[in-house]
Structure 1
Amino acid sequence: MMASPQSFRTPYEKRVALVQDTIKDNSKLGDEDAGKLAVRVLHVLDAIPEKMR
């Protein structure tokens, strides 16, 4: 019996998934739209200067 390959998720992918799940839990958006919005939200948050965070 072969072991199934484990998928590796980067820290960024984990952050996107966390934001995506939060958006889905608090809206009527589906997976795809919540995922797109999660990427945009993280991009905006990452663009905020460190002193302002």
Structure 2
Amino acid sequence: MAASAVLLKTPYGRRVELVKAVIQDKSKLDDDQAREIAVHVLHALDSIPEKMR
């Protein structure tokens, strides 16, 4: 089973795929590059305190 198939089953994996799709739609990055950036974006968003979101 591919790692991406496992990630899609979790809420986090679905969020990564959503952000990755937006990144790919607005750039010429491949799947791996877009996924790496998506993980960084989600990490940054998750580090913002709840009150500031």
Q: What do residues 1-53 of structure 1 show as CA deviations (whole Å, max 9, x unaligned)?
A: xxxxxx66100000000000000000111100000000000000000001111
RMSD: 1.3
Runs of 4+ in 1 over 3 A off after TM superposition: none
Q: How many residues align?
A: 47
Instruction: Report the identity percentage.
Output: 57
The structure with the largest alpha-carbon Rg is 1
Q: Which runs of 5+ in 2 are unaligned?
A: 1-5
Q: Which runs of 5+ in 1 are unaligned?
A: 1-6
